[in-house]
Structure 1
Amino acid sequence: MTARRHASEWAPVGTAWFQGLFDDAALFPPGNAAMADAVEGHLAWKASTQAAYVGAFVCSDARWPELVKHLPTASRIKASVTVPGGMDGLSAAVAAASDTPKATLVAVEVPLLRGQRVAALITQLDRELPAHATGYLEVPVSEVDHALCRTLALTRHHLKLRTGGTTATAFPAEYELAAAIGNAVRSRLSFKLTAGLHHAVRHRDPVTGFEHHGFLNVLLATSAALAGSPTSSVASILADRNPASVAEAVRRLDVETTHSVRRQFESFGTCSIDEPLDDLTALGLIKETRP
């Protein structure tokens, strides 16, 4: 963010806007935290006054045994397991994650790999996942059309979109992301995002030069899509780089709209909990946020 004001200039918004919004992906790039540090940090956040903002701890299936080893005996965290291998690794990942007394499996994130069929992956998710866990099907943003969203919306599983990465091309353009959000919203399909959303407002990273989406922009874009705005208007909201105008737009949304938006845009994975919360504090949208 380029504009920062003292938090006392504005009144904070309700917790409902950001409750459980930040899934703890400290293990993943660019953070790449050691497991011991990631677990310690997650437990500290969940024991803090800001616990409501922090969602599930995200861990890959390959590192799940390491997670179990580092969790304290008395812990009971909520965890999401990612399965990069897709359908081939799903059964083993779910079995291992479901047999962990120290962690409750709340989500499984699995990509639709080239050559795999959506219907087949949905069938496997239905068969493998326990009733209390949600499946997130990761689909490239450019492939999220209305037909796919309608198909997925008829199941208990949700959509996952990747909004960044280690190359410039990993970041979808505003119009492309707006179209995907619009298709999901029109189908009443809930979704989560991952990568590149450490900050509240659209910006260019001064080190990499990459154009990053802002998570507040995404919340507002989801609200606009729910209101029936055309894709071009939703894209213009995603493109807004003015922190003050974005924050003010958030404040203008009523409670009913807030809940509707969060039913659609559930959470996003971030390797830093500090950075998004620091942005919200600087914008006066929440109070001071240190565990």
Structure 2
Amino acid sequence: MTTLFRGLFDDAAIFPPGNVPLPEAVAAHRKRQSSPVAPLLGPFVCASARWDDLVEAADGGPPLAVSLILPGPDAEIPTAPQIDVVALEVPGGAPGGAIPTYVELPCGEITVPRAAALAGDGLRIKIRTGGVRPEAFPAEPDLAGALWSAVRSGIAFKLTAGLHDPVRHRDPVTGFEHHGFLNVLLATARALQGYDIERTLADQDAERVARAVAAIDEPLAKSVRHHFVSFGTCSISEPVNGLLHHGLLPEELR
């Protein structure tokens, strides 16, 4: 399994627009963990408000790796033997502790000094790249500035929402312009190499983007994933199928 895609897809099946019932989503996640796509999986994403339901759904199996969304920096981090909290996602601040913690910030607030200060505190950044409203999708210049600042400051980041498809495109139903996760991987690589990345994020030529991603060598792939840790997606099958379509995964994962 290529370094570039290992653990890239955080399972956010219970969030819109997927809205899968929590017990069903946990069962599907565990089924994938014993399937050929297991190396691609990140943690299961859940809000702490649904903790009791999560504990009940996870009962009777091995501990479930979870990225837990807290309502604020002062919120208590719950515990249960069925759950292994491997990451925290917090708006507007972050609790202390050894668990990797992502602070959600708008793209416009992600500057090199701000990101460097967060990195110095041992924190990471969460960037929202979509949603159910058009304003939830950052424009290419805004996302490019945030990614560039993250790379320049040395901080790790994750993305959330709107990235089901590999390459940037306009949704024919909603009309929303979606960023592509391959575009973001490639933009991160080019930022590390010192290039301007706005055009990379805007590129809708799927074959060109896929070829460029396939050409990323192992050392650069490791550096890319040091920064771009993962993204939350309410569908695991859609991004996997997209990678298969572009020949970026072995056929046995089909």
Q: In the alignment, what sits opposite 2:68?
A: 81
Per the TM alignment, residue 237 of structure 1 is displaced from its structure 2 partner at its CA by: 0.2
One-letter amino acid of the counterpart of residue 86, structure 1: G
Q: In the alignment, what sits opposite 2:217?
A: 254
Aligned mate of 2:47, from 51, 55, 60 = 60
Per the TM alignment, residue 77 of structure 1 is displaced from its structure 2 partner at its CA by: 1.7
Q: In the alignment, what sits opposite 1:31?
A: 18
- Indicate the structure (1 or 2) with the bigger Cα radius of gyration: 1
Partner of 1:142, secondary structure, is helix
Q: Which runs of 4+ in 1 moved over 2 A?
A: 287-290
| Residue segments in structure 2 that go unaligned for 5+ positions in a row | none
Q: In the alignment, what sits opposite 1:5?
A: none
Q: In the alignment, what sits opposite 2:154?
A: 188
Give the stretch that moved more between structures: 18-27 or 146-155: 146-155
Aligned mate of 1:43, from 30, 37, 49 = 30
Aligned partners of 2:35, 2:25: CA distance in 1, in Å? Answer: 15
Per the TM alignment, residue 71 of structure 1 is displaced from its structure 2 partner at its CA by: 1.1
Q: In the alignment, what sits opposite 2:144?
A: 178
Alignment of 1:25-174 (within 5 A): 25-83=12-70, 85-88=71-74, 90-91=75-76, 94=77, 96=78, 99-112=79-92, 121-122=93-94, 125-126=95-96, 129=97, 131=98, 133-174=99-140
Q: In the alignment, what sits opposite 1:4?
A: none
Q: Does 1:278 align with 2:241?
A: yes
Q: In the alignment, what sits opposite 1:226?
A: 192
| Residue segments in structure 1 that go unaligned for 5+ positions in a row | 1-13, 113-120
Partner of 1:276, secondary structure, is helix
Aligned mate of 1:238, from 201, 204, 212 = 201
1:152-177 deviations in Å (ceiling 9; x for gaps): 11122111000001111110000110
Q: TM-score, normalised by structure 2?
A: 0.97
Per the TM alignment, residue 287 of structure 1 is displaced from its structure 2 partner at its CA by: 2.4
Per the TM alignment, residue 257 of structure 1 is displaced from its structure 2 partner at its CA by: 0.3
Identity %: 47
Contact 2:113 2:153 in 1 (8 A): no
Aligned partners of 1:67, 1:106: CA distance in 2, in Å? Answer: 15
Alignment of 1:261-272 (within 5 A): 261-272=224-235
1:173-214 deviations in Å (ceiling 9; x for gaps): 001100000001001100000000011000001110000000
Aligned partners of 1:86, 1:207: CA distance in 2, in Å? Answer: 34
Q: Which has the higher contact order (CA 8 A, sep 6+)?
A: 1
- Structure with higher helix content: 1
Per the TM alignment, residue 86 of structure 1 is displaced from its structure 2 partner at its CA by: 1.6
Aligned partners of 2:61, 2:235: CA distance in 1, in Å? Answer: 25
Contact 2:102 2:123 in 1 (8 A): yes
Give the stretch that moved more between structures: 41-50 or 210-219: 41-50
Partner of 1:17, secondary structure, is coil
Q: TM-score, normalised by structure 1?
A: 0.85
